[in-house]
């Protein structure tokens, strides 16, 4: 495999991880919790597309976005909001419970057999290089989404409120910011990004089952930690780093060990720089 | 009627009763100070009054409205805000963005916002010089100025300041107290919490002494600074 192919693959896998990692990192930064049900939102999105794809792909994708956002809002309201201020461990266990709930619900209502879908968007040839249209679309859309999110956070009132809440919830309240609505918006954005990631992952693997979101979810979580959890640029960097690792090792005889290598790198990052690549320690000035 | 009226306020942290039923009031135009030692319950009083931490019992009325059960972010919209202890400016945002956050609750036109921010820059020229600098890189004194400017951006009727002089050099402490006086003169009512009893009593219309979650003494600033008990406990003899 040549270098250009590795770069393109790295960017497309990395873009997907980054979109998922953004959900983890934003929820962590703003709601101060690890939402381990985040990966299962990907599964909800992928199933929605599979089940509606024969009707119309567009309807499928839009429904996936809407449904994921709704599930995100409901999960936050029903499961996490009552625990605001509770011990982090209780919240963590609840998140794992929500994850199992979503997986089991999928098994009960849709079945445990994987559901498939065939899709071929064709490929583009550039000289000797063959790039699938899907890969290209993945890169373009994930870059656009990340740029949009960065601008949203920097230049909108809600975006700045998110930064404020993530830095100091009490001080944010003293500005008149409603923390609960900021957290709801965070879940909406995170779930929409997870839905998009689910669509791309589905088109790539062409099959979905109830644990579809588990592996990409946990890898994107690793990406968020590698980049520095709580940091939006960190999640993007972490996602792309992980994408490149995957693309590079996929081109070597070590390809079967990619998962192990990725988590080993997570451990190394945590040993060397526990706050992640772009994470920082807070200092208080007196 | 008082602008802020706190009646029989009680606050507990678990089984610990931090505030044991205190009552005080702040009239429009006044500077009122709560003085007390570390752990007396000053910050708890401030934070529960504004709705940042829950009250166990008691009643808080602001501007004629019962705000006992109203969450903090809504109280701010009603015209009461606080400069928290330790300044708590948004370290990752610039000075300008911090002031923008301060105006979050104000539904105003761009022109009004511009006028407000110009007024803050006028009062704190240092902030104008550093408006594009990230707040985390400011000195402690500058962060205090920013925290005060940020609070003023919400156009409060009542401004609460929690230990604004903490950790500042003597020169800056004087400056902070001068600014508080100016803000008050321009029409903002002030509720101040301070360990620096001497300086704060000197600018206060009235004051309360808080000890172990109870108000043990109250009077005008002058009366308290002449009281034997205050002299002994808070003014160094």
Give chain B as a DSSP string.
--SEEEEEEEEEETTEEEEEEEEEEE-TT-EEEEE--TTSSHHHHHHHHHTSS--SEEEEEETTEE-TTS-HHHHHHHTEEEE-TT----TTSBHHHHHHHHGGG----HHHHHHHHHHHHHH-HHHHHTTTSBGGGS-HHHHHHHHHHHHHTT--SEEEEESTTTT--HHHHHHHHHHHHHHHHTT-EEEEEES-HHHHHHH-SEEEEEETTEEEEEEEHHHHHH-HHHHHHHS--
Q: Tell whether the model's pLDDT for residue B59 goes beyond 90.
A: yes
Whole-angstrom Cα distance, residue A195 to residue A68? 6
Contact check, Cβ <8 Å, A161/B90: no
Verify whether the Cβ–Cβ distance B84 to A171 is below 8 Å. Answer: yes
Give contacts of B81 with chain A, Cβ < 8 Å: 174-176
Which of B73, B136, B143 comes nearest A176 by C-beta?
B73
Other beta carbons within 10 Å of A257: 12
* Residue A86: DSSP 8-state: S
**Judgement on whether residues B71 and B161 belong to the same structural domain of the protein:** yes
Sort out which chain A residues have CB atoms less than 8 A from B148's CB and list them: none
In this prediction, residue B44 carries a pLDDT of 95
If asked whether residues B116 and B142 sit together in one domain, one would say yes
CB contact under 8 A, B81 and A174: yes
Interface with B, mutate which of A175, A228, A284, A286 (most B CBs under 10 A): A175
Residue labelled with tokens 């306020």: B9
How far apart are alpha carbons B49 and B81 in whole angstroms? 10
Closest partner CB to A168 (pick from B82, B88, B100) = B88
Distance CA A23, CA A12 (A): 18
The C-alpha of A90 sits at a distance from chain B's nearest C-alpha, in angstroms, of 18
Q: Which of B72, B138, B143 sits opposite A173 (nearest CB)?
A: B72
For residue A285, the model assigns a pLDDT of 43
CATH number at residue B38: 3.40.50.300
Q: Do A171 and B97 touch (CB under 8 A)?
A: no
Chain A residues within 8 A of B138 when measuring between CB atoms: 285
From B105, B128, B155, the end of a domain falls on B155
Neighbouring C-beta atoms of residue A237, cutoff 10 Å: 21
Residue B115 has pLDDT above 70, yes or no: yes
The Cα–Cα gap between A194 and A213 comes to: 9
Cα A132–A136–A140 angle (5° rounding)? 170
Average pLDDT over residues B35-53: 92
Each residue's pLDDT expressed in tens, for chain A with a length of 286 residues: 688 889 999 999 999 999 999 999 999 999 999 999 999 999 999 999 999 988 888 999 999 999 999 999 999 999 999 998 899 999 999 999 999 999 999 999 999 899 988 888 888 887 778 889 999 999 999 999 999 999 999 999 999 999 999 999 999 999 999 999 999 999 999 999 999 999 999 999 999 999 999 999 999 999 999 999 999 999 999 999 999 999 999 889 998 999 999 999 999 999 999 899 888 765 444 4
B117 and B213, same domain (yes or no): no
Helix (H) or strand (E) segment spanning residue A248: helix A232-250
B14 and B125 co-located in one domain: no
Q: Distance (Å) from the C-alpha of residue B90 to the closest C-alpha of chain A?
A: 6
H/E stretch holding A124 reads: strand A123-126
Count of structural domains within chain B: 2
The partner residue sitting opposite B90, judged by closest CB among A168, A283, A285, is: A168
> Is residue B217 over pLDDT 50?
yes
Range of the domain at B101: 88-155
So what's the pLDDT on residue B109? 74
- Averaged pLDDT, B96-100: 95
Q: Please state the φ and ψ torsions of residue A114, each to the nearest 5 degrees.
A: -60, 145
Most A CBs within 10 Å, among B50, B91, B101, to test the A interface: B101
Which residues on chain B place their C-beta less than 8 Å from a C-beta of chain A? 47, 50, 52, 71-74, 76-77, 81-82, 84, 86-93, 97, 100-102, 104-105, 136, 138-140, 143, 150-151, 154, 166-167
Quote the tokens at residue B223.
């009366």
Convert the pLDDT of each residue in B173-186 to its tens digit.
Answer: 999 999 999 999 99
Contact assignment for A286 to B73 by CB distance below 8 Å: no
Q: Last residue of a domain, which of B155, B185, B209?
A: B155
Q: For residue range A29-85, what is the model confidence (pLDDT) as tens digits?
A: 999 999 999 999 999 999 999 999 888 889 999 999 999 999 999 999 999 999 988
3-state secondary structure of B90: coil
* Cβ-Cβ contacts under 8 Å, B86 against chain A: 284, 286
- Are B135 and B182 in a shared domain? no
Q: Please return the burial class of B14, using the count of CB atoms within 10 Å of its CB with bins 0-12, 13-18 and 19+.
A: exposed
Residues A68, A128 contacting (CB under 8 angstroms): no
- Residues in a beta bridge with B19: B11
CA B215 to chain centre: 18
- Residues B69, B134 within the same domain: no
| Residues of chain B contacting residue A283, judged by C-beta atoms under 8 Å apart | 136
Within this chain, do residues B172 and B235 fall inside the same structural domain, yes or no? yes
A22 part of contact set with chain B, CB < 8 Å: no
What's the pLDDT at A124? 87
The domain limits of chain A are: 3-98+129-272
Both B68 and B184 in a single domain? Answer: yes
Six-digit token string for B76: 């701010």
- Mean of pLDDT values over B42-54: 94
Please name the residues between 90 and 129 in chain A that touch chain B, using a CB distance below 8 Å.
none
- Determine contact: A78 vs chain B, CB below 8 A: no
- Cβ atoms of B22 and B6 closer than 8 Å: yes
Give the number of residues written for chain A: 286
Q: Which residues contact A282 (CB under 8 A, 6 or more apart)?
A: B91
A176 in B contact zone (CB under 8 Å): yes
Say how far residue B204 (Cα) sits from the centre of its chain. 13
Looking at residue A171, its pLDDT comes to 96
Shared-domain flag, residues B166 and B73: yes
Q: Are residues B183 and B196 in the same domain?
A: yes
Residue A118 confidence (pLDDT): 84
Shortest CA gap A62–chain B (Å): 33
* B172 and B151 inside one domain: no
- Asked if A174 contacts B148 with a C-beta cutoff of 8 angstroms, the reply is no
Residue A224 vs residues A97, A234, B215: alpha-carbon distances, Å: 21, 7, 49
Looking at residue A78, what is its pLDDT?
97
Rg (CA), chain A: 19
pTM: 0.91
pLDDT tens, B139-182? 999 999 999 999 999 999 999 999 999 989 999 999 999 999 99
Same domain, B51 and B26: yes
- The pLDDT of residue B236 is above 80: no
- Mark which of B155, B183, B211 sits at the end of a domain: B155
| Percent share of chain B, pLDDT over 90 | 84
């Amino acid at each position: 495999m040549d270098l250009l192919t590795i770069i393109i693959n790295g960017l497309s896998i990395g873009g997907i991880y980054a979109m998922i990692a953004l959900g983890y990192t934003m929820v962590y930064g703003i709601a101060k919790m690890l939402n381990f049900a985040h990966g299962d939102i990907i599964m909800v999105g992928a199933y929605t597309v599979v089940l509606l794809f024969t009707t119309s792909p567009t309807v499928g994708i839009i429904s996936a976005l809407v449904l994921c956002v709704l599930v995100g809002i409901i999960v936050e309201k029903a499961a996490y909001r009552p625990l605001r201020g509770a011990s982090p461990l209780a919240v963590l266990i609840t998140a794992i419970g929500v994850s199992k709930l979503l997986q089991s619900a999928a098994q009960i209502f849709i079945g445990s057999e994987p559901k498939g879908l065939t899709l071929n968007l064709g490929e583009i040839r550039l000289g000797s290089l063959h790039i699938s249209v899907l890969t290209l679309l993945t890169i373009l859309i994930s870059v656009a989404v990340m740029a949009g999110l960065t601008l949203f956070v920097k230049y909108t009132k809600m975006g700045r409120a998110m930064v404020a809440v993530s830095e100091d919830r009490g001080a944010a309240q003293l500005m008149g910011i409603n923390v609960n609505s900021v957290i709801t918006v965070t879940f909406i954005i995170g779930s929409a990004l997870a839905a998009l990631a689910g669509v791309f992952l589905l088109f790539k693997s062409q099959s979905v089952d109830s644990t579809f979101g588990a592996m990409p979810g946990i890898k994107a979580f690793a990406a968020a930690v590698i980049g520095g959890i709580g940091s939006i640029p960190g999640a993007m960097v972490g996602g792309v780093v992980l994408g490149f690792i995957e693309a590079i090792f996929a081109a070597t005889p070590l390809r079967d060990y990619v998962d192990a290598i990725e988590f080993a790198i997570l451990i190394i990052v945590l040993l060397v720089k526990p706050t992640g690549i772009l994470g920082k320690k807070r200092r208080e000035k007196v | 009627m008082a602008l802020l009226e706190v009646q029989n306020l009680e606050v507990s942290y678990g089984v610990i009763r931090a505030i044991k039923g205190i009552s005080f009031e702040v009239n429009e135009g006044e500077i009122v100070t709560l003085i007390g030692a570390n752990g007396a319950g000053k910050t708890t009083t401030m934070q529960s009054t504004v709705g940042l931490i829950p009250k166990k019992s008691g009643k808080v009325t602001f501007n004629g409205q019962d705000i006992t059960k109203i969450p903090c972010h809504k109280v701010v919209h009603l015209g009461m805000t606080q400069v928290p202890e330790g300044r708590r400016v948004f370290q990752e945002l610039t000075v300008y963005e911090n002031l923008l956050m301060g105006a979050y609750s104000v539904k105003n036109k761009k022109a009004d916002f511009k006028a407000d921010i110009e007024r803050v820059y006028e009062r704190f020229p240092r902030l104008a010089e550093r408006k594009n600098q990230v707040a985390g890189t400011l000195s402690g004194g500058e962060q205090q100025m920013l925290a005060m400017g940020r609070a003023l951006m919400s156009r409060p009727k009542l401004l609460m300041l929690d230990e604004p002089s903490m950790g500042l050099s003597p020169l800056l402490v004087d400056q902070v107290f001068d600014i508080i006086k100016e803000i008050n003169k321009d029409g903002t009512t002030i509720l101040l919490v301070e360990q620096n009893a001497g300086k704060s009593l000197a600018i206060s219309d009235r004051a309360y002494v808080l000890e172990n979650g109870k108000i043990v003494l109250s009077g005008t600033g002058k009366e308290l600074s002449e009281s034997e008990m205050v002299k002994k406990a808070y003014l160094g003899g």
